[in-house]
Structure 1
């Protein structure tokens, strides 16, 4: 089965290393609300094989699920919730979880929306789980739009073309007819399509409106601007127009995950992988507000750990989202966005100074501790921009040992363990699939859409496939 997918490319990275707090007390990274990795993992398992380790991004697996974190107060775009609890796979360390819950404004308070569907109609899209599924998915999305929202359609295959000029969403028959006329054929001219889509988006945008290009593709950018560096620079220039970019992947076989990630990260957008109509329902209907309406741009997280309390730490996931310490206060450095109602979780495994789990010896010529006598484990800082603003705002709070975890934190930890098992992490000791399944089952909570139940089934399937190796 894997031979069918050997042309796929993933933007993988090695696990984040364990950091010694006395030497590197500050950790800085961009948030990531993408969910593509979880869907790719599910597709792989349902096709009967374990995903390649580089396809597993643990943070995207954790953030696939909605969580019942406390909502923000007043006009704040989001609210951070911090918890500290024991590590399931190591009784001598703790997990520090930073959960961010985005505000969810009422639909009538959303700004006017302009969407440009940029649809890959190249020959590689001529499969049932590609262009036909794409059409079905966009029909679901169209059913959620308000009459005054506008839609345009651009396609690309060999050359780009304007299939539908900006059209009010109330004219659904016209939009559906334009979708129905699409056929797959030819090579992929990704650059030309992006250029025309952004030009269309600029023509649709007025003050106070949200404009988003939704690129739907199997990721096969084989004609035009295919060099990753040049593609990144091109997307960064286009993003200056204020239009957001969402990337939806369809089908397997030549999925270019690395390019999809580069497009989404540099286009101020998100990436999702749609393998079933049910996933389209989740991304484009159930979580539509988060997918389309940003509430905070360039969101960065920085944690300073206290070396008097924490000897070592490691960030689980976010390997491709690392930032330099100085990037945190630099508003010119791009970072991820949070959409309306989004939940984002980051997890650190931390080792107390008196723990036998320490992996490094104290330095001979330098004291491990510092003058601080605070019992704080660390200090959390978050920066974000109000959409359209040039200057960031700061949220900060201490991380203290009395911040008890909730069942939501327990489920997030189970998914973190699931992802690390798939990646073959050497940080889990003898923690097993059975342990991950038990932890997830014990913390399933209110599973309104069945996503958590499905995750447990995927763990069981992964366990069976792993036993065959």
Structure 2
């Protein structure tokens, strides 16, 4: 104990207490429970600096190592590090920290930095356009971090992937012409009564409807078996997850397996889906080792998919990896071009992320986007069951492609608006009618949700009103008076899965549709709690007055139907985030010294 006091004193003398990682360890003895708080260094290594300087500025390689991008993010790194799990330490075994063991080298995960959507004045820009997104990887990845005891980096949080993780009961399509219906709802905001929340939802038809039967599946599993996958939550989990998927297949389906490490190879030639023993044997024999050369594996996987191409079925490569491409000339532009070319030939790409430490979230999300597929992060067997069993049709069977949403707000009623999330799905307004512009796909039974925050004219504005109003032009023919009945007009454009010409859907949102938040459905109020939580984790300036207890109460009271317990689990995650936030060491008085220390040690 004396040695430990001397060690702690030395840390304080070096003015490095701002870099300590709080550790909470509980040891139960006969007289009660003792809580021990100990600390250790978390230094910024030379490897971190080299990795950060090597990141490309090009769009397809715009990968930033969170925590080392700039001075602000240096503070974020310190906040992330504080709760990394540590081996249990009993009273009897209390000793000086092991410096080699306690230095945390794992925070080299790669996330794309995007500025949060800002507030738009309707008089200046009344139209908002974006591509839909059905990915859920951000939510399950952040869940992994919270369950392991640390707060996520801001760039890991994509609000739309949080809210789209959950199912909602939206109205189904009754029009056989379209594969989904538009569902809208508007209510007062729970975190600002002087503003509104507007939800735009889509509900796709399921495969049991007569016009969207699931076709035969031609699947190629592309599996990373490099050394970086040698961990219980990587390759072993991959094998169990894909075994679950194959049990859903029939004799009409086909499965092939390609692996890659330093070199790539075919483990299983295209095999009928009902040959379970053969498929499972091929999966069970896989082991991890070597470096990663994913580009070679992708080329081989696409060749197999072409060999077994089914004109009337689903043709898809399923990539399972931690995204750590670290050998050879890894040209991401060339990789993306290959995926886009195969997409045009009718072969989609789904990416399944696994593991931590060297995880490349940005690349995984980007490749799925370019491959007309979806991106999920698998952190547990429960998540594998959700994505690859319960939602298999939504994961693999697309019912519409290039789905875009455009909302025009009425400046006579709406002074300002803000799209919450979808930062990396933004489109130029002219892209809405351009069928050459790629957008997101919707799977059978999928639900898509987007939220806007609105400020009404005369309401609690974010910005000062304009002194000079823009000239009103292009007024609708026959309109002699300002329209004060419609709040907004929603347009949706999509292509049928087997067509290249888009179709248009539209729906007006009436001013009379605005309701009190407390009178809204459980689905609306729960989804609002998810949107609030994601913004809170990102430290968004737009929810400054919102606290964790309010989010917990809102979610807990409106879980509604929760067959698989996903909503109850969400409440637990919010509680965990509240606990971790209370132990945050990023105090204002320490930020300057922590930043200087991290910058100094990087040179």
TM-score higher than 0.5? yes
Counterpart position of 1:53:
154
| Count of residues paired in the alignment | 468
Counterparts in 2 of 1:148 and 1:400: CA distance versus 1, 3 Å: same
> Counterparts in 2 of 1:315-464, with a 5 A limit?
315-355=419-459, 357-366=460-469, 372-403=482-513, 405-464=520-579
Instruction: Tell me which of 187, 204, 217 is aligned to 1:85.
Output: 187
Cα displacement (A) at 1:210: 0.9
Match of 1:269 among 370, 373, 394: 373
Task: State yes or no: 1:134 paired with 2:231.
Answer: no
Q: Any idea what SS the aligned residue of 1:427 has?
A: helix
Which runs of structure 1 show a deviation greater than 4 angstroms over 4 or more consecutive aligned residues? Answer: 367-371
* 1:310 and 2:414 are equivalent in the alignment: yes
| C-alpha spacing 1:20/1:121, structure 2 compared with 1 (3 Å) | same
Offset of residue 127 of structure 1 = 0.6
2:176 aligned with 1:66, yes or no? Answer: no
The CA distance in 2 between the partners of 1:280 and 1:21, in whole Å, is 43
Which has the higher mean CA deviation after the structures are superposed, 72-81 or 176-185? Answer: 72-81
State the superposition RMSD in angstroms: 1.6
1:40 equivalent in structure 2 = 141
SS of residue in 1 equivalent to 2:500: coil
CA offsets 1:273-309 (integer angstroms, 9 cap, x no match): 0011111011111111101110111111110111111
* Range with bigger deviation, 166-175 or 403-412: 403-412
Indicate which of 13, 25, 29 corresponds to 2:114.
13
In structure 2, the residue matched to 1:213 is: 317
After the TM superposition, which residues 230-245 of structure 1 pair with which residues of structure 2 at under 5 Å, given as runs? 230-245=334-349
Preserved contact between residue 123 and residue 469 of structure 2 (Cα < 8 Å): no
Aligned to 2:205: 103
Distance 2:306 2:396 in 1: 17
What whole-Å deviation, never above 9, does each CA across 1:206-262 have from its counterpart, x for those lacking one? 221111110000110123563433332232122111111100001111110111011
Q: Give the C-alpha shift of residue 332 in structure 1.
A: 0.8
Offset of residue 107 of structure 1: 9.0
Q: Distance in 1 between matches of 2:362 and 2:402?
A: 21
Secondary structure of 1:198's match?
Answer: helix
Aligned equivalents of 1:362, 1:344: Cα separation in 2: 33
Deviates more, 1:333-342 or 1:228-237: 228-237
Task: Indicate conservation of the 8 Å contact 1:22/1:369, yes or no.
Answer: no
Kept after mapping to 2: 8 A contact 1:58/1:419? yes
Contact 1:156 1:190 in 2 (8 A): yes
Deviation at 1:374, TM superposition (A): 3.1
CA gap 1:74/1:163 in 2 versus in 1, 3 angstroms: same
Higher relative contact order (CA 8 A, sep 6+): 1
Does the 8 Å contact 1:79/1:102 carry over to 2?
yes
Q: Is the 8 A contact 2:126 2:410 kept in 1?
A: yes
Query: Secondary structure at the residue paired with 2:283?
Result: helix
Which runs of 5 or more residues in structure 1 are unaligned? none
Q: d(CA) in 1 for partners of 2:130 and 2:205? A: 22
Query: In 2, distance between residues paired with 1:373 and 1:100?
Result: 26
Q: Is the 8 A contact 2:122 2:410 kept in 1?
A: yes
1:444 deviates by: 0.7
- Match in the other structure for 1:158: 262
Provide closer, same or farther for how the CA distance between residues 232 and 372 of structure 1 changes in structure 2, counting only shifts above 3 A.
farther
Show CA shifts across 1:73-109 (max 9, x none). 2433111100000111111110110011111122993
CA-CA distance at 1:430 after TM superposition: 1.3
CA distance in 1, matches of 2:363, 2:425: 15
1:7–1:429 Cα change, 3 Å: closer
Query: In 2 relative to 1, CA 377–4 (structure 1 residues): closer, same or farther, beyond 3 Å?
Result: farther
8 Å contact from structure 1 (residues 295, 340) kept in 2: yes
Counterpart in 2 of 1:288? 392
So what's the TM-score if we normalise by structure 2?
A: 0.76
Rg larger for: 2
- TM norm structure 1: 0.97
